[in-house]
Amino acid sequence: MKKRLLLPLFCAVEFFVILIVLEQQAHAYVDPGSGLLMFQVGGSMLAGACFMLRRKLRRLFRLDRSVKEDASQGNQAIINEARSCEPNNSR
């Protein structure tokens, strides 16, 4: 489990170190609105990730309950159907 967590972290640190080492002076103008656009994109991604995580967690906990209820209802329906298909031996 630790290896699965350490590898992406190590890759991210390595990526940022390479970016810092290979830094070059930029001769360009960056509009202040560009920074706000990046801030908005990051915020939107964070909000979307939170929404998806909440949805997955709700589905996980709701699914656990509904599977047990569906299984008991499904088993009862199968039992009732089997009883109704039994031939009558009362002659």
The predicted pLDDT at position 14 comes to 94
Q: What is the mean pLDDT of residues 18-41?
A: 84
DSSP at 28: S
d(CA 40, CA 46): 10
pTM of the model: 0.38
The predicted pLDDT at position 50 comes to 93
d(CA 82, CA 74): 12
Comparing 4 with 44, the larger pLDDT belongs to 44
